[in-house]
A and B are shown apart, each in its own frame.
Chain A
Amino acid sequence: MPKWFTPAAILCGLMFIISPVLIARAPDEAAMGMVYKIYYYHMPSAWMFLLAPLVCGVSSAFFLARGRAEDDRRAWAAAELTVLFGALTLITGPLWARRAWGTWWVWDARLTSSLVGWMIGWAYLILRRYGGPGSDKLAAGVALFGAVNVPFIYISVNYWRTIHPPTTVVPKLRADMGVPLWFCVFAFLLLFILLMTMRLRLEHARTRLDAMYVALDE
């Protein structure tokens, strides 16, 4: 592991321990009271859910253009993080929606496109697992389409009539609400980087092990 990994992991752990305290101290929202506070975890995980397919798509484009294995490994790791942060987003969202909107789910553009993005992440992983030889390039093709969906998810709330809060909410937040939010965003971003690093290292070790087995057979 790189030298910075352990301190960063400790920092990330501390941030996740402190974050509930900051969230508890944040003021209640006028209309929803304290129910809105799930937003402090929902939105950062949703941002990572948008970041992961972009990393996956860009890495896949590089892999298709240059054919380097490390681009492919990064894309694979990012696809797994898409599914992980997608699951967090799609669990925390309905928990909030049940109290705020009175329903677990609505088929509006934001929720539907998010679900589609999550399913594309699953499709990528299923292809990698069951596609057999050559599935790396095939999966890279899927990842490009997954990345194209990201801007659509982001802008969907601004163009379609929906009850999901628009993208303009965050810049308008009061300081005592904004500080815990940005704290959580950095905690999730750090978690994203740490998981990505761990996953890349695991895949790198696996590749080396495979090379050793091949060398042993020869």
Chain B
Amino acid sequence: MTGPASRPPAAPFARTVWMVLRKDLTVEMRSGEIAYTTLVFAASCVLIFAFALVREGRAPEGGAAGILWIAILFASTLALGRAFERERQAETLRALLLAPVPRPAIYVGKLLGIVALVVATEAVLLPLVDFLFTARLFAHPFWLAGIVVTCTVGLASVGTLFAAMLVRARSRDMLLPVLLYPIVVPVIIAGVQGTAALLQPAFDAAVVRFWLLLLVTFDVVFVVLALWTFEAVMSD
């Protein structure tokens, strides 16, 4: 017998989110594959920029913010690709989608898992950039945390959607950055400008607040759009 009446009752939204998130974190804690590779890759990026740009112990003005976000963007792309490649190899994404749970909850669970991974990478990357570029990133820690988290959510919201969509596509590794970067450029610009405003000798809270509000706006728009698109695109 088929039809909605014969299906088991759908699990509540929050519980599904937690289960997907816990599954991703457990897999990652046991293997450490994405966390370590992403971290080493991001650190290598920052080191290359440091070798190329730091002259006589001084970094170019405003360079630290740009380099930080370029490294985070590249590292996130790597993490996104691998997170969904793992699901594809084991056919677990299909299993997740077949489960009687709300589809948007699967998306939110995956999104939170990616955000957790990227934030963990950032926790190491921020002191590294601070040290190599003598950038005084931690002068305003709460503002920095706000910018970093909102920018990461904006980046990961689009990234999670496209990485999930591309699981079945040909040449998915090449297509992910091609699709992702043009769409997240505004988020990265806001992140870079917000971080650069934090590094100014004369700190202006109004400027940082403006970029933070813009990032929150991007986050809301992107997450809402991604939730709707995920449901529609993953329906096959």
Asked if B170 contacts A141 (CB within 8 A), the reply is no
Is the pair A137, B236 in contact by a Cβ cutoff of 8 Å? yes
A131 pairs with B183, CB closer than 8 A: no
- A119 interface residue, CB < 8 Å from B? yes
Does any Cβ of B come within 8 Å of A35's Cβ? no
B229 nearest in chain A by CB position = A141
Closest Cβ of chain B: how far from A10's Cβ, in Å? 38
Verify if A167 is at the interface (C-beta below 8 Å from B): no
CB <8 Å contact, B183 and A127 = no
A120 contacts B169, CB within 8 Å? no
The answer on a CB contact under 8 Å between A113 and B186 is yes
At the interface, yes or no: B161 with Cβ under 8 Å from chain A? yes
Residues of B with C-beta under 8 A to A138:
162, 165-166, 169, 233
Secondary structure call for the B interface: helix
State A70–B140 Cα separation when bound (angstroms): 53
Q: Is the CB of A116 within 8 A of B186?
A: yes
Evaluate whether A127 and B179 lie within 8 angstroms (CB atoms) in the complex, with A113-B186, A141-B162, A145-B225 already known: yes
A-B contact pairs, 20 of them (CB 8 A): A65-B232, A112-B189, A113-B186, A119-B181, A119-B182, A123-B179, A126-B178, A130-B175, A131-B171, A131-B175, A132-B169, A132-B170, A137-B165, A138-B166, A141-B165, A141-B233, A142-B179, A145-B158, A145-B183, A149-B186
Question: Which residue numbers of B lie inside 8 Å of A, CB to CB?
Answer: 158, 161-162, 165-166, 168-171, 174-175, 178-179, 181-183, 185-186, 189, 221-222, 225, 229, 232-233, 236
